[in-house]
């Protein structure tokens, strides 16, 4: 039996986001380390701009991009914007899940919205499961993934696409 659209979405959300609980954990004792070819810190504006082969790491969570902008407010780090051809986000597996490997031309993390946004040629892979769209939003608190298609081009159908592998040991006719 084929899964209904709603069941496929719930299954997709479970597969894609079962491992990460938060993108960058500001409550963690692990510092965020940044390395780049150049850096510009503006204390007045609360920004730090890193360019050239940027690597941002907290624990085992990693973000690589050509350019990264960090925004700070009174509470601390509030937003991260990364861009590249593509920018890449990796988060280790938790509780037996697969590692999350995502890429897009623009990746944004917002502390206030508890959200990761992947824009322009966005792809999230977790194990053999793949989710593609022009824009993919991941609510790190509610653990909800939403995606939007874009304009069809040579590189893309313009539609949201997903490949979901069957769970091992499940018999699809048991429903």
User: What tens digit of pLDDT does each residue of 46-95 get?
Assistant: 999 999 999 999 888 899 999 999 999 988 889 999 999 999 999 887 67
- 78 touches 101 (CB < 8 A): no
pLDDT at 45 over 60: yes
Q: What is the pLDDT of residues 81-130, one digit of tens each?
A: 999 999 999 988 767 677 889 999 999 999 888 899 999 989 988 888 88
**In sequence order, what E strands does the chain have?**
32-35, 38-42, 47-58, 61-73, 76-91, 100-110, 115-126, 129-139, 144-148, 161-163
The residues facing 87 across adjacent strands are 104
Domains of the chain: 5-163 (2.60.450.10)
How far is it, in rounded angstroms, from Cα 79 to Cα 111? 6
Chain-centre distance for alpha carbon 103: 7
Considering only residues 23 and 65, tell me which one the structure prediction assigns the higher pLDDT: 65
Burial of 118 (0-12, 13-18, 19+ CB in 10 A): buried
Determine how many CB atoms are found less than 10 A away from the CB of residue 57.
17
Does residue 172 carry a pLDDT above 80?
no
Is pLDDT of 31 > 60? yes
Instruction: Enter the pTM of the model.
Output: 0.76
């Amino acid at each position: 039996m084929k899964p209904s659209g709603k069941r496929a979405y719930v299954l997709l959300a479970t597969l894609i986001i079962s491992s990460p609980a938060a993108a960058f954990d500001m409550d963690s004792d692990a510092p965020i380390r940044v390395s780049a070819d150049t850096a510009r810190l503006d204390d007045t504006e609360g920004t730090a701009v890193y360019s050239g082969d940027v690597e941002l790491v907290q624990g085992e969570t990693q973000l690589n991009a050509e350019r990264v902008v960090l925004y700070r407010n009174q509470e601390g780090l509030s937003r991260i914007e990364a861009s590249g051809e593509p920018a890449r986000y990796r988060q280790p597996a938790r509780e037996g899940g697969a590692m999350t490997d995502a890429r897009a031309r623009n990746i944004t993390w917002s502390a206030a919205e508890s959200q990761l946004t992947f824009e322009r040629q966005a792809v999230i892979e977790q194990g053999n499961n793949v989710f593609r769209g022009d824009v993919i939003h991941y609510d790190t608190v509610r653990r909800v993934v939403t995606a939007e298609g874009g304009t069809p081009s040579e590189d893309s159908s313009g539609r949201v696409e997903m490949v979901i592998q069957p769970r091992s040991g499940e018999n699809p006719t048991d429903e």
